[in-house]
Structure 1
Amino acid sequence: MSAPRFYGFISNSYTAALVGPDGSVDWFPCPRFDSAAVFCRLLDDARGGFFAIRPEGPWESRQQYLDQTNLLVTTFQTPDGQATILDFLPIGRTAIWRIVETPIPLVLTCRPTFNFGSCNAAYQIEDTGALFLHPAGTEALRLMINGPQTKREQRDQWTIGPGHVVVVLRYAQDAEREVPQLTEPLTNESEMIQRTKTFWLLNRLPYQGPWAHAFHQSVMVLRGLTYRTNGAMVAAATTSLPEIIGAERQWDYRFVWVRDAAYGAEALLLAGDPVGCRRYLEFIFNTVDLVGKPFAAPFYRVDGTVSHGEQEIGWLAGYRNTRPVRIGNAASGQLQLDVAGDFLWVVYLYWLTTQDHTFIRDYWWAIETLVHWVAGHWQQEDASLWEFRDDDDRYTHSQVMCWVALKAGQVFAEKALALPGLANHWAAQAQHVRKAVWDRFHQSGLPYLTQGPRHPQLDAALLTLPLYGFLAPDDPVFRETLTQIENALVVDDRVYRYRQDNLGTAVHPFTLAGFWLARVYHRLGRADRRDALISAQIASMTDLGLFAEHIDRETGEPRGNFPQLFPHAGLITTLVERQNPAAPWFHPWPD
């Protein structure tokens, strides 16, 4: 099965756009990842708005990233010659630059809408483009065309070329104040290209090993999903791309999940970027509430505020007519007990790697708050990392991550701050959690671990238990659990997260879970199975080296929000571990 073609992803680390193989920008929230989109044809062909440049006659196309940066080249092959578009978002500015080289005329269509297609733009045609205004708000976009161009009869279309054409679309949140400034010196495209290329090239990380292209693409995605102001990482660039076409599993992932971003920060740390990891940790530390529940929600907006509730947008048809389209995420109100452990695990790895005792002391107020809260609440039922709705339980993975939080707190108290009394208290609490997990295992009467006491099915999250040092990979109970997972959840080296939940059947494999399994095989010394799993997951990437949340088991197409942080972080961590068999995180906890 050849790599599927899907959208190209471009970012300026404030927001992102998706560009189709047909030269159309079909997704562009402004001014931030979690803002309303001005182009969202991704979610509705008719109402969504788009920004396309393409030949008028027949064509074939291909796409590639320029020099493994985040600058995207779309090449059209036509009977009359080859045209190229270089697309990028300039760093530090909410704008799309499109550099066109063409021997033939191309058709440019710019049709923005506001608030996810609910409001059409008012047009003011100008000599070199157009001004698009929100008729009931303050937003505006200015289109500027530098090069051969002719206005077509349709108000949102131009003919551009032949020749060299620079097209820039800039966004203003406050039109009255900003519109007069929305003019670019469009003759400086070489400088703008070079500055943008340099930004991405300087953000590469060293890697010597197999699958280097996939590694560097994954680092690029993590950088592209990072909000540059504070180091926060969003879980994905989109909302409401469905896991299953025609079903209801589609959610808004354009927020900073404590868990998902912790996976990203761990990947950056292990790959050699402690600064990127630390920036994320500081972002999350500064969301901690000292009174009540430390994490007000499992995820935050990119500015650190809480997103409340979920809205269904009835006027959009949805991707391939899959409704509903959702804005916001009702999981903001869930209890997800694993997130403190996910976060403190990365704090712990950062400390192990850097021995930065000052960092631990400076944020001890937050660390102590988190660990104390876990010590007092670990026995509660929660929604798990899968964010089940109305199906809480004492999920095994959540309980183990509470144990991780307590173990990290114990080591920090003992080794970094010399607080033996507190260290002993948290060590005792960690033992209580561990005993509870094993007591429930024995009560189940099964020879393997399960998802939870009321959920006796297999769950791919159980693969993480040896990755966090809860038990050894060759522990007999884990080996039996692994065998059961292999039989029930692994098909053609792709891994399902589980088979069933209260929304029905989980139809498609979960891309991150394949990397979990590869890491388990690595720790068991099964190099052949490890590499087979890695190869299978990488084969699930699009032709541009991008992952979605799931892979369609029949067509190979990406399913779910895109690109997704989870699998890209999983790929990086897996490849780094493969290259470092003696790394300290294989045996993380002191005896």
Structure 2
Amino acid sequence: MHVDNGEKSAIPLDAIPARSSGYVDLRSYSAIGDGLTVALIAHDGSIDWYPTPLLDSPPAFARLLDAENGGCIELAPDGDFTVERAYIPRTNVLQTTYTTATGSARVTDSLNTGLSGRLPWGELARRIEGLEGEVAMRWRVAPGTALASASPWAHSSPLGPVLRIGDTTVGVRGTAIGDSVVTGRDISGTFTARRSSHHLLGILTTSAEPLQLPDPEDIDRGIDRTVRYWESWSAELRYEGPWSDEVLRSALALKLLHSPSGAIAAAATTSLPESLDGGKNWDYRFAWVRDAAYTLHTLIRFGEREEVHAALSWLLRVARDRGADLAVFTRLDGGEPDAERAVDVPGWRRIGPVVTGNRAKGQLQLGIYGDLFEMVRLYVEGGHLLDTDTTRLLSEMADRTCDVWQRADAGIWELQTDRHYTSSKMGCWHALECAVALAEEGHIEGSVERWRYERDRIRDWIDEHCWSETLQSYTWYSGTDQLDASVLLHAASGFDRGPRMSSTIDAVTRELGDGPLIYRYSGADEEEGTFVACAFWAVAALVEVGRRREAEELMGRLVPLANDVGLYSEMIASRDHSFLGNLPQGLSHLALMAAALTLVEEY
């Protein structure tokens, strides 16, 4: 099979504006991680986001949201330079080559893993290798205020200077990085990289416990061990088809968002704006049932086993704890999510607010019933067996779906006005469709006749109340002619793969589209950027309704919109393709993977 993938080169780094007032364009960020947290690295070598020890910890390094007091870890040539960077293939370890007027040097950035997986401390390793000539390098480790919650300070210890920010302790270890200069709140130094020279800057972190300070040679070896870990993980993914590099990069980006509990964070950051006008800033360092279901849907199709089982087990534990009224999202440890709270820091490019927690806590989102059942259905289709407690829980949830589908809810977009959203009703239909199939196959028991009856009632209700003859499209919610791109998800769910869904795709791309990109719903173009996942949902929907050639053409236009290292944010501004919203965004990468898999599976 030959597919024209379109232009593969990402928007070049020289098109990204330089750091302005302490901030860089969001396209500038690459991401590394260790299974506990994620660090974001700008093209100029500054680590501007690094919560430690966990992704949802108060970030000791948060220049991303507070240029003056947020904190950063800098490493770059001392003077003008150009940048080339890429991940080591099949890993989340980044390599950046800096070229100056006098020479070039390569930096390898890794959040190191241990012999048996995650390390019990944070170990950020930055290896510097001289390539040609001489390059004067400078470095600085400068913690911030952890989003205005602590004041950093440096002090001497028997093993050298350390930094403290609240409960977090930061140590610096190095090889051939010059003498350390300690001020009241940072540690810095300079050195020169020459042809074949080898240097290491290691940053060690713990929280409310003793600080491990390994030998620098052990930290350096940890980079190679981490490369091997990622290569081994990537080798387990089975995908043969077009856009294989982009699909694997998306899988690796998603792996960064997996936590030890089995939960999957929606994104690695908080409060990056969806609009340059401000006001639409959210904390995505939580685990959404919806996102977990989409992740498992994709990874099951890849043949991945360990993360699938861990994530499914996490979700079922959450469901058992909360009962048949499913929680929309939880903390990464499975606990009750925090209420939204504003933090007194300026935000990226001073676009606020900066928040922790999320106001979607307590919302009713009916679509998650379909997400849960889809995930379980795929799990058992993979040859796996459900336990007794899970079968009882699923029977209860199917009964609950029969009771609640008629209610208005907040919908997939977590809006403040409850309505009878079409995609929510389709999600309930899908939940009961899966429940009936699971019962017929002997996996669960329950009121199967009732499930069939209510399933068919939902379809009839949608056909009567959520279809516009004028637009020839399913609508956003009953009683309106406005549109919602999330309806396209239900081509894949099987609700509709016929003429109505096909014409809905046309209406959505006509009314909500801007080039290859798509806004979430009617009116969104006035308040935010295009939503990356929606465009990839359109690709998959086109395939499901038999319009493969159009799907391939759209996919070829979307894939190059990643940044230079293959990452996507939540949204993209249609006018200049700048990134908006939190990043890396799990849903964006999931949608790319699902689109690619659908193209291959339906060939």
TM-score by length of 1: 0.91
**Equivalent pair of 2:572/2:579 in contact (CA under 8 Å):** yes
Give, in angstroms, the shift of residue 15 of structure 1. Answer: 0.5
The total of aligned residue pairs comes to 565
Matched, 1:484 2:510: no
**Residue equivalent to 1:219:** 251
- Report matched runs for 1:348-387 at 5 Å: 348-352=377-381, 354-356=382-384, 358-359=385-386, 361=388, 363-387=390-414
Q: Distance in 1 between matches of 2:52 and 2:523?
A: 37
Is 1:575 equivalent to 2:596 in the alignment? yes
Q: Distance in 2 between matches of 1:221 and 1:39?
A: 21
Match for residue 12 of structure 1? 34
Q: Paired residue for 2:277, among 240, 246, 270?
A: 246
Cα distance between partner residues in 2 of 1:139 and 1:74 = 28
For 1:39-54, what aligned pairs fall within 5 Å after superposition?
Answer: 39-54=61-76
Asked if 1:278 corresponds to 2:309, the answer is: yes
Partner of 1:62: 84
Please state if 1:95 is matched with 2:123. Answer: yes
Give secondary structure in 2 for the equivalent of 1:287.
helix
Task: Choose from 322, 326, 330 the match for 1:300.
Answer: 330
Structure 2 residue aligned with 1:158, among 185, 189, 192?
Answer: 189
Q: Which amino acid aligns with 1:224?
A: L
CA, structure 1 residues 111+166, in 2 after alignment: closer, same or farther (shift >3 Å)?
same
> Which of 292, 300, 306 does residue 261 from structure 1 map onto?
292
**1 CA distance for matches of 2:107 and 2:502?**
52
- Counterpart of 1:469, as a letter, is G
Change (3 A) 1:492 1:533: same
**Kept after mapping to 2: 8 A contact 1:8/1:20:** yes
Deviation (angstroms), 1:523? 2.2
Residue deviations 1:474-504 (CA, integer Å, cap 9, x gap): 23x3233222112112222212212316xx8
Cα distance, 1:290 vs structure 2: 6.4
Amino acid in structure 2 at the alignment position of 1:124: H
Query: Where in structure 2 are the equivalents of 1:309-348 lying within 5 Å?
Result: 309-314=339-344, 316-348=345-377
- Backbone CA RMSD of aligned residues: 2.2
Preserved CA contact (<8 Å) 1:371 1:406: yes
- Give 2:369's aligned amino acid: A
Contact 1:235 1:565 in 2 (8 A): yes
CA deviation after TM superposition for structure 1 residue 148, in Å:
3.9
Cα separation, partners in 2 of 1:344 and 1:442, compared to 1, 3 Å: closer
The structure-2 alpha-carbon separation of the partners of 1:291 and 1:251, relative to structure 1 and needing over 3 Å to count, comes to: closer
Q: Check if 1:30 corresponds to 2:52.
A: yes
Deviation larger for 286-295 or 300-309: 286-295
CA distance in 1, matches of 2:467, 2:141: 63
Unpaired runs of 5+ in structure 2? Answer: 1-8, 14-27
In 2, Cα distance between equivalents of 1:153 and 1:95 = 21
**Which amino acid in structure 2 is aligned with residue 96 of structure 1?**
L
Cα distance, 1:424 vs structure 2: 1.4
Instruction: Sort the Cα spacing of 1:301 and 1:506 in 2 relative to 1 into closer, same or farther, 3 A.
Output: same
Contact 1:312 / 1:325 at 8 angstroms: preserved in 2? yes
Of 496, 506, 512 in structure 1, the residue corresponding to residue 519 of structure 2 is 496
2:429 match: 403
| 2:578 aligned with 1:557 | yes
Matched residues in 1 for 2:352 and 2:87: separation?
Answer: 32
1:585 is matched with which residue? Answer: none
1:168 pairs with 2:197: no
Residue 505 (structure 1) aligned with residue 526 (structure 2): yes
| Structure 1 residue 197: Cα displacement | 1.0
Unaligned regions of 5+ residues in structure 1, if any?
A: 583-591
Superposition map of 1:109-188 within 5 A: 109-125=140-156, 130-134=161-165, 137-152=166-181, 156=186, 157-162=188-193, 163-174=197-208, 177-179=209-211, 182-188=212-218
Residue aligning to 2:555: 534
Matched, 1:474 2:506: no
**Aligned-partner Cα distance in 2 for 1:441–1:112:** 52
2:548 counterpart letter in structure 1: A
Asked if 1:522 corresponds to 2:549, the answer is no
Mapped partners of 1:250, 1:12: distance in 2: 26
* SS of equivalent residue, structure 1 residue 529: helix
Instruction: Kindly provide the CA deviation profile for residues 179-229 of structure 1, in whole angstroms up to 9, marking residues without a partner as x.
Output: 3xx2112113453122211211111113222211101101101111111x2
- Farther off after superposition, 504-513 or 568-577: 504-513
Range that drifts further, 84-93 or 142-151:
142-151
Q: Structure 2 vs 1, CA of residues 66 and 126 (structure 1 numbering), >3 Å: closer, same or farther? A: farther
SS at match of 1:458: coil
SS in 2 for 1:331: coil
Alpha-carbon distance in structure 2 between the residues aligned to 1:412 and 1:394: 27
SS state at 2:319 partner: coil
CA displacement at 1:115 relative to structure 2 = 2.7
**Deviation, structure 1 residue 128:** 7.4
Given that residues 444 and 453 in structure 1 are in contact (C-alpha distance below 8 angstroms), is that contact kept between their aligned partners in structure 2?
no
Measured in 2, the distance between the counterparts of 1:451 and 1:540 equals 27
TM-score using structure 2 length:
0.89
CA positional deviation for 1:127: 8.8
SS in 2 for 1:409: helix
2:456 is aligned to: 431
